[in-house]
Copies of this chain bind each other. A is one copy, B any other.
Amino acid sequence: MRSFRETLAEAEINHSPKLAELKASVKILSVKKGNVLQQQGGINTNLYFVKKGMLRSYIIDEKGKEHIFMFAPEGWLMADGSKDDNPSELFIDCLEDSEVEVVSQADFNELFLPLAAINDKDRTVGMLRRMATMQKRIIMLISASAIERYEHFMETYPDIIQRVPQKMIASYLGITPEALSKVKGMRFK
């Protein structure tokens, strides 16, 4: 990775848009609840923009246990962010009947990223929001108790709470469903 100054020294601006190519690279998909869009270990990874419904990404560990990495309701981007060349770390599946737009990782990097940075502040805001979400998540995981993580989640994503089963919330928080149940009971004691 180059430094800021090195970047400047080498910078030459020339950019010819390829709108047709861009348009062709986007596929629209209707996905039924339960459908799996992407497998852990797969090599062709995509980005999914959720127009309607909700997607979920998760891993399955050696003991066969599911751990939810992220929920993506309407307006969110769903993607496996593991390094480009590596196979996908995540499963992605569909929690509600959904409509999504799909772009391959390769197309996104080559075509969308440059375009988005210039013309689509919302797109970069989307990436920044993703980063902010992950940062907060890490901070909660290393510093907060189960109940604090739960309360933070409720405040931040009250919508998601209504739409997914408790056991998935527990999985997202990094605890068992039983522990979440216990912890919820304790709040009103």
Contact = CB atoms under 8 A, between A and B. Distances in A.
Interface of A: 1-5, 7-8, 10-13, 15-17, 19, 22-23, 26, 28, 49, 51, 59, 61, 65, 67-69, 75-77, 80-84, 89, 101, 103, 109, 112-120, 122-132, 134-139, 141-143, 171-174
A113 B12 CA distance: 14
A119 to B, nearest CB: 5
Q: In the assembly, how many copies of this chain are there?
A: 2
- The 8 lowest CB-CB distance pairs between A and B, nearest first, are A142-B174, A117-B117, A13-B17, A141-B141, A81-B131, A1-B126, A134-B134, A67-B143
A101 B3 contact: yes
Main SS at interface, chain A: helix
Given A1-B75, A13-B115, A134-B134, 11 more contacts: A1-B123, A8-B23, A11-B22, A13-B119, A65-B143, A69-B142, A81-B134, A109-B124, A116-B117, A117-B117, A117-B118
